Structures are given as C-alpha cells and as structure tokens.
Amino acid sequence: MSEAGSGRPTTIVLDCMGSDHGPLEAVTAAAQLSIARPDFHLLLVGDDAQLSPMLDELEYDPGRLSIRHTDQWVAMDESPRGVFDRKPEASILVACKIVSDGRADAVVTAGNTGGAILAAALGLGRIPGVRRAALAAVTPTEQTHGPNQDPFSLLLDVGATLSASARDLVTFAIMGSAYASAISSNPAPSVALLSNGTEAHKGPAEVVQAHRILAGLSEVNFAGNVEGLDIPRGSVDVVVTNGFMGNVVLKMLEGIGEVISDLAQDAYARKFLWRFGLTMLSSGLRQIQRALDWEEYGGAPILGFAQPIIKAHGRSRAKAIANACKVAAKASRSDMIRVIERAVARIPDEDGEEEARTRDP
C-alpha cells in the first residue's frame, strides 16, 4: 500500500484479456495514465504478441508501464468452474498473484465476472473474518449522496453470494460502508438493509438477525431497513442485500433505462411531439443515464479480499478502464481494508448463525 504524494507510485495490475472489445481498450487506458498520472505504475497482464504491437502505436511513458506476458485467459462466456485447473496462467489469476506477492497494489479487469471473483479468492485471499465476497454497484437515485453530491447510491451484493447469512449481510454492510467512505470521501455513509418493511422484525430470518447485529455495531452508521421504493429515491448511501436480490434489482434498473430509451426511439419514428418531449427532459434523463454509465464511474468493486480489485464492465472503453484504475488506486491508498478487518472482528458470534449458514445452498 502506498500513500498519495509519497515516493513510490501506486502499481495497478491491469488484466488486459477477455473483455468485449479486446485488449486495445486496456492498453490505451494504461498508455494514457502512464503519462497523465506520475503517481501510477501500470502493469499489463496479457498476450505480449497482442499487447506490444498495440503499445507501439501509442504514446506512453515506458518508465511507468510494463507488460507481464501470459498466453492464457478466461473467455467472457466461459464457465469459471475449474477454469484455473485448465488455465493456471490465466491473466486474471496472474494479476491477483502479482498483487498478493506484494509487487503491486490493486487489480483491475474488464473480463469474466465469475472468473474475477474466483481468481480473487484463489490469488488475493479474503480479509480475515470475511466469509463471502460481495460485488457492489452504483444505482441512480433522486437524492444525492456524500460531499460530492453523487446522484447514486451503492448496492451490494449484486451477484457474488446468491444466499447470504445474517453474518454475511453484516459483513456486506461493513464493506459497503468502508468502500463508500474511501471512494466518495463520506466519513460515515448511511447503510440500510433491504427488506419488505422498515420495522426491525420485517423480512426473512437472516435479515431480522442482521438488523439486530447491525443495531449494536458502532462501526456502521446503520439506518435500519429500507424498502424497494427507497432504491430509486436514494434514502441511504449504501443498500445491503443478498446477491440474488441485488442482481434482480440491478437488472431491473437496467431494463427501465432500456425501456426509456426504446420509448424515445419509438417516439421518434411515430410522433414528433414525443421526441420533442424527451429532448425537453434530456437534462434529467442525462442525469439518470450518467448514473447508470459505467464509463463515468469505473466499475464495481469485488469486496472482501485482502487487496482492492475492481471489475469494470465487459463493454468498457479506455475511459472507463482508466476510471476503474483511478478508483482502484483510491481504494488502495485508503485504509479501507484495515477498516473492514477491524469492524468484521467485532461482529458477535450469535446463536443460530451456524444454523443459518447450513441453509445456504
């Protein structure tokens, strides 16, 4: 871990392989950052036969950018099950191992999500006390959040842990709080459990139990339960749920964005006034689209591992990957991992927790 302003740059390992648009986006991002950010070092992992010719066409600072060759990687549509037995030198696993060996500070990838989670578990290792990882994503909100007035809140888990026990949900609350604090400079983000009612007794057993634990945990600015309508409103900074629910919620928001976009195109074809109406509304729609736009926010952190790892969207262009690198560096320079480790150690061992765990598939 390095500090901003100190001598040593922050080294970001960039997995260049397996994304939708090929390695050029990651290579371009790295080349630009090597010039623009003297506090960064970029270590590209991937097929040198592809990366070097791309680099030759770009302007970059060779003192701040290097390549670690491998000819194996996880394809976007490949099942992560057993993939690292078949491909022990897969780029994402190599990237994680470079960080855990202490030769770099954080990982960024735009490749296969399941592969990234598995590589982090194998290569980075979990923060002591964390049993399950969580993938966090931003969702657009009406209310703004934190000192930067961000028009979005953080939702986790969105797909790493389908069924979460009470202890997992408490851990996700701690991790979401620490990440939001590190990235958005909000010293005490408000954190809530997603449930079917605001009262403490509402929800499945694991949510009720997590509520009770969080109410007694001073490390989290716990706001109680929120309901579905609080997600678009943005009543809190961090919303905690299991990966099954979070996945459905996130994809619903994507779907609503698509429907708005379809309505606009449909209107264009059929009715000028509709189109005109959408143009009038465009500043509001732009705000919503910006919040949903991975290009602007640089990807989703995979939380629970001993070093930061950021999953950029598979469709990411160079700008999005560069933003993901900046977010990864910010997380690495913060005390996020130590904050999580300390808070997780304070989760009480409750009766019934083991029973709840055995209910997970």
The β-bridge partners of 238 are: 154, 191
Q: What's the rounded Cα separation, in Å, for the pair 140 and 217? A: 28
Stretch that binds a copy of itself, among 53-61, 95-103, 181-189, 267-275 (CB under 8 A): 267-275
Stretch that binds a copy of itself, among 61-69, 144-152, 183-191, 193-201 (CB under 8 A): 193-201
φ/ψ of residue 249, rounded to 5: -60, -45
Q: Which is nearer to a copy of itself, 148 or 279 (CB)?
A: 279
Q: What's the rounded Cα separation, in Å, for the pair 223 and 209? A: 15
SS3 303: strand
Q: Which is nearer to a copy of itself, 36 or 252 (CB)?
A: 252
Q: Which is nearer to a copy of itself, 188 or 252 (CB)?
A: 252
* DSSP letter string, 136-202: EEEEEEEEEETTTTEEEEEEE-SSS-SS--HHHHHHHHHHHHHHHHHHH--SS-EEEEE-SSSSTT-
Among 267, 313, 321, 342, smallest CA distance to 13 is for 321
Told to check if 281 binds a copy of itself by CB under 8 A, we report: yes
**Among 9, 80, 151, 232, which residue sits at the site for a copy of itself (rule: CB under 8 A)?**
232
Told to check if 2 binds a copy of itself by CB under 8 A, we report: no
Q: Which is nearer to a copy of itself, 3 or 142 (CB)?
A: 142
Told to check if 262 binds a copy of itself by CB under 8 A, we report: yes
**Among 58, 76, 217, 256, which residue sits at the site for a copy of itself (rule: CB under 8 A)?**
256
Told to check if 205 binds a copy of itself by CB under 8 A, we report: yes
**Among 194, 236, 309, 336, which residue sits at the site for a copy of itself (rule: CB under 8 A)?**
194
**Among 77, 229, 349, 351, which residue sits at the site for a copy of itself (rule: CB under 8 A)?**
229
Q: Residue 297 belongs to what H/E stretch?
A: helix 294-297
Q: What's the rounded Cα separation, in Å, for the pair 109 and 11? A: 14
Neighbours of 167 (CB within 10 A): 25
Told to check if 279 binds a copy of itself by CB under 8 A, we report: yes
**Among 10, 186, 221, 247, which residue sits at the site for a copy of itself (rule: CB under 8 A)?**
247
Told to check if 80 binds a copy of itself by CB under 8 A, we report: no
* DSSP letter string, 47-82: -HHHHHHHHHTS---GGGEEEEE-SB---TTS--TT
Stretch that binds a copy of itself, among 23-31, 144-152, 175-183, 256-264 (CB under 8 A): 256-264
Tokens of 131: 């049993």
Q: Which residues of 100-123 are buried (b: 16+ CB within 10 A; e: fewer)?
A: beeebbbbbbbbbbbbbbbbbbeb
**Among 274, 293, 346, 350, which residue sits at the site for a copy of itself (rule: CB under 8 A)?**
274
**Among 22, 38, 228, 348, which residue sits at the site for a copy of itself (rule: CB under 8 A)?**
228
Told to check if 3 binds a copy of itself by CB under 8 A, we report: no
Told to check if 250 binds a copy of itself by CB under 8 A, we report: yes
**Among 58, 75, 76, 162, which residue sits at the site for a copy of itself (rule: CB under 8 A)?**
162
Q: Scan residues 342-361 and list those touching a copy of itself (CB under 8 A).
A: 359, 361
Closest separation in Å from C-beta 342 to a copy of itself: 31
Q: What's the rounded Cα separation, in Å, for the pair 181 and 170? A: 17
Q: Which is nearer to a copy of itself, 23 or 115 (CB)?
A: 115
**Among 57, 63, 276, 315, which residue sits at the site for a copy of itself (rule: CB under 8 A)?**
276
Among 231, 131, 116, smallest CA distance to 172 is for 131
Beta carbons within 8 Å of 336's beta carbon, 6+ residues apart: 178, 179, 181, 182, 308
Residue with tokens 């990411």: 316
Q: Cα separations (Å) of 109 from 98, 99, 117, 167, 298?
A: 14, 13, 11, 28, 11
Residues that bind a copy of itself in the complex, under the rule CB under 8 A:
142, 159, 162-163, 194-196, 203-205, 227-233, 241, 243-245, 247-256, 258-259, 262-263, 267, 273-274, 276-284, 359, 361
